[in-house]
Chain A
Amino acid sequence: MKYFLKLGLILLIISVVASGILAYINSITKPLIEENERREKEEARMDVLPEAVTFDSLTVFNKETVYTAKDDSGNIVGYTFIACKYGYSSNVKTMVGLKPDLSINNVKIISQSETPGLGANCIKPEFQAEFADKTENELKVDKDGGDIISLTGATITTRTIANSIKEGLNELKNIILTEEEVTE
């Protein structure tokens, strides 16, 4: 009996030491990791709306902040939000840049782990360019009668991205429009 207690005690000590070390390292690295993520999103925002200079938070969608983008003289040049939906094998997150008339300026896939060689090709700039200048109603892939040419062998990924952006637009357009009225 005493022997088994001793075994349990040793295992307890190992676990306590391990979790102590982990907690310590976590407390050091967490702020850095958050900073990295913040910077990455900022870069993605600049990519989808290059004319913008400042970003003001507008509302929250998908647990991510929606921003109003302004140029240096304070005119609204667009909005950004993050669309997210489960694709073929992973959550596909897309940074979407909108023009003031709510058509798409540009999109950027910021995280995905779809099938390499098929769905993962969605990170290619040629594919992301497909979405430029599309309005809410034009967000349809070719298989569904739209203009967006789907990736070879990855219609599901393409459709997911189109639908996630569409849902986001649908949800946000009213908020953005009322916001504009208030500011005017």
Chain B
Amino acid sequence: MKLTQEFTKGFIKENPVFVMALGLCPTLAVTTSVENAIGMGLAATFVLLFSNIFISLIKKIIPDKIRIPSYIVVIASFVTIVDMVMNAYFPAIHKNLGLFIPLIVVNCIILGRAEAFANKNTVIRSIVDGLGMGLGFTLALIVIGGIREILGVGQFLGHNVLPVSYKPVIVAILAPGAFLVMGVLMGLMNMKKTK
């Protein structure tokens, strides 16, 4: 596969959320607003990029039988380092993203890409894959978050976009709204694919 294809596959064809259904727990939890979606998406992309690099570098050293626990140790350590460094040197960013960083440990996209891609491919390809998948994840979060924020509070990125007379459908930003919006979007993606 060409490098450009490797990069763009995460956006639609192999979108982590809508097609592979990876990382659904954080997807459902943080898509209450576009701002949150961007924060979670970028933090996950960052960690995914570096964990992919790490895993592809050490893939030869780790025996096959204990690869999963090893990956988890690597990913968890990396997330903790990012959390601590960001908190110490960039407190302003940490205040906005800090909430999402511990959630990334349990985001199965990271482990999923380590297992499905980074341990079989070169460092360069793993970087491209990590970036593409991470941005695809971010894109999916922004789409879901955008729909929920517009329906639920009549805003987009905190700015009013609907007339004042619009009465917000509060359920859209509560938990059920996440399932409904994601389900409908997944359905639409499948409909397009089977056509």
Name A residues whose Cβ lies closer than 8 Å to a Cβ of B. 6-7, 10-11, 14-15, 18-19, 21-22, 25-26, 28-30, 32-33, 36, 40, 113, 115-118, 153
Give me the 10 closest cross-chain CB pairs, A-B, nearest first.
A29-B88, A32-B88, A18-B77, A116-B32, A29-B84, A117-B153, A36-B91, A117-B173, A116-B33, A33-B87
Per the bound structure, the CA–CA distance linking A19 and B74 in Å amounts to 10
Per the bound structure, the CA–CA distance linking A158 and B61 in Å amounts to 54
Chain A's closest residue to B85 (CB) is A29
Residues from chain B with a CB closer than 8 A to the CB of A117 are: 32-33, 149, 152-153, 155, 173
Name B residues whose Cβ lies closer than 8 Å to a Cβ of A. 32-33, 35-36, 62-63, 65-66, 69-70, 73-74, 77, 80-81, 84-85, 87-89, 91, 99, 149, 152-153, 155, 170, 173-174
Measured CB to CB, the closest approach of chain A to B101, in angstroms, equals 13
Residues from chain A with a CB closer than 8 A to the CB of B80 are: 22
Measured CB to CB, the closest approach of chain B to A95, in angstroms, equals 15
Contact count A vs B, C-beta below 8 Å = 65
Measured CB to CB, the closest approach of chain B to A87, in angstroms, equals 15
Q: Are A116 and B36 in contact (CB under 8 A)?
A: yes
Per the bound structure, the CA–CA distance linking A113 and B35 in Å amounts to 14
Most A CB atoms within 10 A — which of B35, B66, B88, B170? B88
Per the bound structure, the CA–CA distance linking A7 and B67 in Å amounts to 10
Chain A's closest residue to B76 (CB) is A18
Most B CB atoms within 10 A — which of A22, A40, A115, A117? A117
Chain B's closest residue to A15 (CB) is B73
**A-B contacts besides A22-B77, A30-B88, A32-B89, 9 pairs, CB < 8 Å:** A10-B62, A18-B73, A18-B77, A19-B77, A21-B77, A29-B84, A29-B85, A116-B33, A116-B36
